[in-house]
Amino acid sequence: MSDKKPISSVNDFVVRFANVNGSGSASANEMFARAILRHGVPVSPRNIFPSNIQGLPTWYEVRVTEDGHLGARGGVDMMVAMNPQTWDKDVAGIEPGGYLFYDSTKPMPSTKFRDDITVIGVPLTAITNSTYTDPRQRQLFKNIIYLGALSALLDMDPKLIEQLIGEQYKGKEKLLSSNVHALHLGRDWALQNLKCPTGLRVKKSDKVGDRIFIEGNSAAALGAVYGGATVCAWYPITPSSSVAEAFTAHCKKYRHDPESGKAKYAIVQGEDELASIGIVIGASWNGARAFTATSGPGISLMTEFIGLSYFAEIPAVIMNIQRAGPSTGMPTRTQQCDIIACAYASHGDTKHVLLFPEDPAEAFEFAAAAFDLAERLQTTIFLMLDLDIGMNHRLCRPLKWDDARQYDRGKVMTAEMLDEGRDFGRYLDVDGDGIPYRTYPGTHPTKGSYFTRGTSRDRYARYSEEGTVYVDNMQRLMRKFETAQDLVPRPLQANAERPTKYGVIYFGSTTPAMDEAIGLLEARGHQLDRLRIRAFPFHSSVASFLAEHDFVYVVEQNRDSQLRQLIVNENGIDPVRLVPIVHYDGSPITARFIAKAIGDHQDHLKVTPLRKAVS
Amino acid sequence: MTYIAKPKFHHPGLKKNELGYTHRDYEGKISTLCAGCGHDSITASIIEACYELSIEPHRVAKISGIGCSSKTPDYFLGNSHGFNSVHGRMPSVLTGANLANRDLIYLGVSGDGDSASIGFGQFAHSIRRGVDMTYIVENNGVYGLTKGQFSATADRGSKSKKGVTNTDNAIDLVAIALQLGATFVARSFSGDKTQLVPLIAAAIRHKGASFIDVISPCIAFNNHAGSTKSFDYVREHNDAVNRLDVLVGRDPIAVDYAPGTVQMVEQHDGSSIALRKIDADYDPHDRLGAQTFLQKHAAKGQIVTGLLYVDPDAEDLHEHLNTVETPLNTLEADALCPGSAVLDKFNARLR
């Protein structure tokens, strides 16, 4: 051991598990994260996994954070190195003074270690093999045994883990007791043979409150249930498949008629993304609330239909769980890289509504709201999640629903209204908001029918190639998009303590890292006003924010600074005043990254005081 | 897509159907297709079939893709909602529409370019799923709207108007539909309305995926010598296995047929089809037999027409999905939203 002192920290450290995928480690690792939550200490876990089912490296990172910083931190304080394939890289990634936990059954040459870290060997395979004979049991219980050993090393209360095991295996007594047994095998071995605890400790706290622990995809799917979606069509694609799977599970629970047992929903796994969006458009045209969930490559395939939705004015909800592109890109890595592709999807002049939730709670709210917006605006609404929010458990405020809330079905002309003699023009703007009335098929025997088409037509849905008629329609669509500005979630602004001419704009999954970065920047003496954008089209407060600041950083997770492009384009802003801060290696953005990038830029912008320069 | 307004007046003595609608109530705008186009005869047959069945015109949703055939929904059932969607994507749009409201009648109109090329996948998958629809392909073997390129149903060895010989194998949509489990499969000829009208009527009454391939010569680009989709060629090679009458709400015994020549098929909705056999050995309940029969006759250059297969006890997608009887598009928050108490419990499980 070198003179580097072992890291000592209570409730503030990062543990990373290096596993082989398909080894059953995921549930043990998740239980580790949940156990810390039960101590009242917030955690932020992240799965780092390959596009593969068995045999490739996978990591699970748990940030233990009493202060509630839910963004990725960067760096590893304790590495649980269970994968020989990635050993060297894993060991190299440990912070100086950190800890390496490994299976010491087989002796390792000293060159495989570092002298500035604490090495903790537990003969996991030996313990497992002396207790279990079945190969699958050996594999699964080995994970629980290391969980037990970690509980001792990190000073965790084993009762809380037992409680979790009890909940997971409720009614399966045999599994329950064997898991508890395995937990104590590991724990007891560590207590008897190792110095417990280490410098990293979990201490009971009360910082979790009533928050829940949920994946964004599941929350978005539940939002679709609460928002009244009845038709879901989808095609499997990482990282969005779990949206449709969660929607299926939620519907099985909440959407069957208690008497007949029949389903108040229809879910179709399409043959591709084109069919999926086609089904959504067909169902929405016919008055049902419908959605699809996909990722970048699916968006590319859907664009023709998205143009139809825009031009023929048919509601649709698309949940885009973004991953690193272009092309197949990095299918299991996160990015915010489809902003431009979605905002202007399809050929011709189009603009689409985008919603940017920050976490699962907002994913739930915005998913439900998306159906109201789609029917009110009669167009496609994109719910822009990403892998980081969608596929990781995130601590967030509990989901809420107001029972008095009714669905906004938008402007729908009924048989009664038609009989009253109301003038029905499918593309007629009667009140200046750019939104026309529609009728559902089958409404009236002689009134209100029309022909839906992607070709140009007049206000009464009659085919037309007249330039003036076409322009009239395109102008109305612009008017409708302006109407959307005031219907979508507004940006949220938080100002620095002192007035400042610097601002920062960010959105979506960047939020927790940004919130944390503000603290780091303030410590460096940088004051920044913040604006979290939650939707496109941009509310007028975005333009005001830009006008009030000399320089505005735009923090996002893509190479080309796509949100910045959109802001420049839509607001006619001098691009020099918008400074791109981009992170796009596929890992979630961190506070450290943001603080460094913005801090360095700020230092560069500032004229160094003379006193300081000569001293 | 017509520019010409159609006059609304009609002869006061025009016949009315059971619901009191005249033929004119089932018409649409004036066709802008070429004079003599086979597709216009199919349009007329759809109008005739809907009139005969006394369907309320607004209870039909007519959905198409892109192309000459896909324009035709504008020319019939003017009081129905129509949807001229995206090239090759009629089947998915129709599937979604059907899921939203199971109470309407869904008529999908497509062409050979739309269904056998760009939309071959969607054609196949909508049939596989058993969507309750009448899927009509107006098949002329050629891209008409883009002026005469071969389509995927053009027979190998047939000649284009410019004299080019097609070297690609043809896709037989009927054979594919049979293989994929369509529960009503027919082929007909736009020049034979007496066969086509009852086929369309029976298909509409059928619950499940009905598919009709209608050979419909393109007068402008595929009606020459060397074409196997010309009026003359189809007339000469048409091998009808049966002709049929659709009987709705009538006592089938009241219809007089010579003994042994008729096979009665009871449909799910209580209507029946009286099949007048032309080929005495042809059994329209034998899916495998139908496939063999078709291939044998195709090898001889014959075009087999008639009701080729029907499963009167077919199921549809709604049955597979076990959806409620009430159309999904009529359900509101009280039926769909689980409410805040359920959400509180959901939250509690995630702590």
**pLDDT tens string B98-139:** 999 999 999 999 999 999 999 999 999 999 999 999 999 999
Helix (H, G, I), strand (E, B) or coil at B245: strand
Q: What is the mean pLDDT of residues A50-56?
A: 83
Judge whether residue A614 has pLDDT over 90.
no
Rounded-to-integer distance, Cα A17 and Cα A90, Å: 9
Give yes or no for a contact between A309 and B125, defined as CB atoms under 8 angstroms apart.
no
Nearest to A553 by CA among A518, A516, A509: A518
pLDDT band at A49 (very low <50, low <70, confident <90, very high): confident
- What SS3 state is found at A52? coil
Residue A610 has pLDDT above 70, yes or no: no
Q: Which backbone phi and psi does B184 adopt, to 5 degrees?
A: -150, 115
Query: Across the interface, do A278 and B329 touch by the CB < 8 Å criterion?
Result: no
- What are the distances in angstroms from CA A146 to CA A12, A187, B295? 21, 8, 65
Residue A4: per-residue pLDDT: 80
CA distance A505 to chain B (A): 31
A419-475 per-position pLDDT tens digit: 999 999 999 999 999 999 999 999 999 999 999 999 999 999 999 999 999 999 999
Interchain CB contact of B19 with A (< 8 Å): no
Q: What is the pLDDT of residue B252?
A: 45
Residue to mutate among A163, A259, A279, with most B CBs inside 10 A, is A279
Q: Using the beta-carbon criterion (under 8 Å), do A442 and B101 form an inter-chain contact?
A: yes
Nearest chain A residue to B70 by CA: give it. A453
Place of tokens 């907002």: A362
- pLDDT < 70 stretches in chain B: 1-5, 249-260
Q: How many CB atoms lie within 10 A of CB A138?
A: 15
Determine contact, residues B338/A225, Cβ cutoff 8 Å: yes
Tokens at A458, concatenated: 């007049």
How is residue A160 written in tokens? Answer: 């809380």
Residue A76 neighbours by CB distance under 10 Å: 22
How many contacts (CB atoms, under 8 Å) link A and B?
232
- What letter represents residue A534's amino acid? R
Q: Do A230 and B329 touch (CB under 8 A)?
A: yes
- Nearest Cα of chain A lies from the Cα of B133 at a distance, in angstroms, of 14
pLDDT in tens, B250-270: 554 445 566 667 888 888 888
- Residues B96/B100/B106/B107 CA torsion (nearest 10 deg): -40
**Terminal Cα distance for chain B, rounded:** 59
Nearest-Cα distance to chain B for A17, in Å, is 23
CB A195 within 8 A of CB A188: no
- Give the model's pLDDT for residue B4: 64
At A52, the pLDDT band (50, 70, 90 cuts) reads confident
Alpha-helical segments (H) within A486-560 = 511-523, 540-548
- The CA distance from A574 to A569, in Å, is 10
Q: Is B137 helix (H, G, I), strand (E, B) or coil?
A: strand
For residue A197, whether the previous peptide bond is cis, meaning omega lies within 30 degrees of 0, is yes
Tell if the CB–CB gap between B1 and A305 is shorter than 8 Å.
no
Nearest C-alpha neighbor of A336 from the set A350, A324, A349, A328: A324
Peptide bond connecting B284 to the previous residue in cis, omega within 30 degrees of 0: no
Residue B335 distance to chain A (closest CA, Å): 8
Which tens digit of pLDDT belongs to each residue from A487-544?
999 999 999 999 999 999 999 999 999 999 999 999 999 999 999 999 999 999 999 9
pLDDT tens per residue across span A198-212: 999 999 999 999 999
Question: Which residue of chain A comes nearest to B320, CA vs CA?
Answer: A266
pLDDT at A2 over 70: no
Phi–psi pair at B259, nearest 5 degrees: -60, 145
Q: Please give the average per-residue pLDDT across A275-286, as a whole number.
A: 98
Containing H/E element for B135? strand B133-139
Order the strands of the B272-277 sheet from edge to edge: B242-247, B272-277, B262-266
Tell me how far apart the 2 most distant CA atoms of chain A are, in Å: 89
**Minimum CA–CA partner of A267 in chain B:** B321
With beta carbons under 8 A apart, name residues in chain B contacting A257.
324
pLDDT tens for each residue of A224-269: 999 999 999 999 999 999 999 999 999 999 999 999 999 999 999 9
Q: CB–CB of A147/A28 below 8 Å?
A: yes
Q: What ipTM describes this predicted complex?
A: 0.96
Residue-level pLDDT at B344: 98
Tell me the H-state helices in chain B.
Answer: 38-52, 68-71, 90-100, 112, 120-129, 173-179, 193-205, 231-237, 287-299, 317-321, 333-336, 340-348
Predicted pLDDT at B7:
73
Q: pLDDT tens digits for A328-341?
A: 999 999 999 999 99
pLDDT at B260: 65
Contact across the interface for B129 and A268, Cβ inside 8 Å: yes
Q: Are A490 and A564 in contact (CB under 8 A)?
A: no
Nearest to A279 among B61, B63, B96 (CB): B96
Give yes or no for a contact between B233 and B158, defined as CB atoms under 8 angstroms apart. no
**Closest approach of A446 to chain B, Cα-based (Å):** 6
Between A264, A278, A398, which is nearest B335 by CB?
A264
Instruction: Report pLDDT for B291.
Output: 96
Q: How far is A222 from chain B (nearest CA, A)?
A: 9
Q: Are B85 and A449 a contacting pair at CB < 8 A?
A: no
Q: What are phi and psi of A65, to 5 degrees?
A: -145, 95
Which amino acid, residue A84? Answer: P
CB B291 within 8 Å of CB B276: no
Using an 8 Å CB-CB cutoff, list chain A residues near B56: 445
Residue A337 to residues A236, A298, A303, A387, B282: CA-CA distances in angstroms?
20, 13, 16, 11, 59
Whether the CB-CB separation of A529 and A544 falls below 8 Å is answered with no
Please provide the distance, in angstroms rounded to a whole number, between the alpha carbons at the two ends of chain A. 39
Q: Which residues of B touch A210 (CB under 8 A)?
A: 347, 351
What would you measure as the largest C-alpha separation in chain B, in angstroms? 77
From A399, A452, A455, residue closest to B82, measured CB to CB: A452
Residue whose structure tokens are 């010491």: A104
pLDDT at A612: 54
- A554-592, pLDDT tens digit by residue? 999 999 999 999 999 999 889 999 999 999 999 999 999
Angle between helices A540-548 and A562-571 (to 10 degrees): 100
Specify the range with the lowest mean pLDDT, choosing from A51-60, A268-277, A562-571. A51-60
Phi-psi region of A44 (alpha: psi -120 to 50; beta: other; left: phi over 0): beta
* Look-up of token digits 């609330």: A289
- Please check the confidence at residue A607 and state whether its pLDDT lies above 60: no
> What is the predicted pLDDT for the residue at A608?
53
DSSP code, position B211: E
Mutate to test the interface with A, among B86, B90, B332 (most CBs of A within 10 A): B86
Closest to B26 measured CA to CA, from B90, B73, B71: B73
Task: Work out the mean pLDDT of chain A and round it to a whole number.
Answer: 96
**What's the gap in Å between the CA of B209 and the closest CA on chain A?**
16
Considering only the beta carbons, identify the residue of B324, B336, B340 that sits closest to A401: B340
Query: Nearest C-alpha of chain B: how many angstroms from A37?
Result: 8
Picking from A255, A277, A286, the nearest residue to B329 by CB comes out as A286
What confidence score (pLDDT) does residue B257 get? 61
